[in-house]
């Protein structure tokens, strides 16, 4: 999967393909998060690679660690704003992910309920 991601880490289709492949294998989400960290390290000055890694880390964490997912989405959003015009489709995807997090948070009953 590392080789797949390194083919074109600027292309979200590569990330989607890697994650789809991982769903059908024994690779866990923590392995994918480690892979994203490695990719960031391999491309230290590439904002688009870092933005993609943060966005996809957020997607991985959305159900298991919503607070971390939100942080990754916000960092990705800040990076993408430097790279793309306001109407770029990535911002709709980010809004959707953040809305999903907000809805999930409201659906959790308060403790002691």
Secondary structure, 3-state, the chain: CHHHHHHCCCCHHHHHHHHHHHHCCCCCHHHHHHHHHHHHHHCCCCHHHHHHHHHHHHHHHCCCCHHHHHHHHHHHHHHHHHHCCCCCHHHHHHHHHHHHHHHHHHHCCCCCC
pLDDT, tens digit (0-9, with 9 covering 90-100), for 13-66 = 999 988 888 887 777 788 899 999 999 999 999 999 999 999 999 999 998 999
The pLDDT of 84-110, averaged and rounded, is 85
Write down the pTM of the prediction.
0.87
pLDDT, position 106: 63
Q: Is pLDDT of 83 > 90? A: yes
């Amino acid at each position: 999967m590392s080789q797949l991601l390194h083919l074109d880490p600027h292309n979200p289709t590569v990330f989607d393909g890697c994650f789809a492949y991982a769903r059908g294998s024994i690779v866990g989400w923590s392995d994918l998060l480690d892979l994203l960290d490695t990719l960031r390290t391999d491309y230290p000055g590439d904002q688009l690679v870092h933005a993609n890694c943060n966005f996809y880390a957020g997607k991985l964490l959305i159900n298991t660690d919503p607070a971390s997912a939100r942080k990754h989405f916000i960092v990705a959003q800040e990076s993408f704003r430097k790279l793309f015009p306001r109407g770029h489709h990535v911002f709709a995807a980010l809004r959707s992910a953040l809305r999903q997090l907000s809805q999930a948070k409201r659906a959790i009953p308060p403790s002691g309920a």
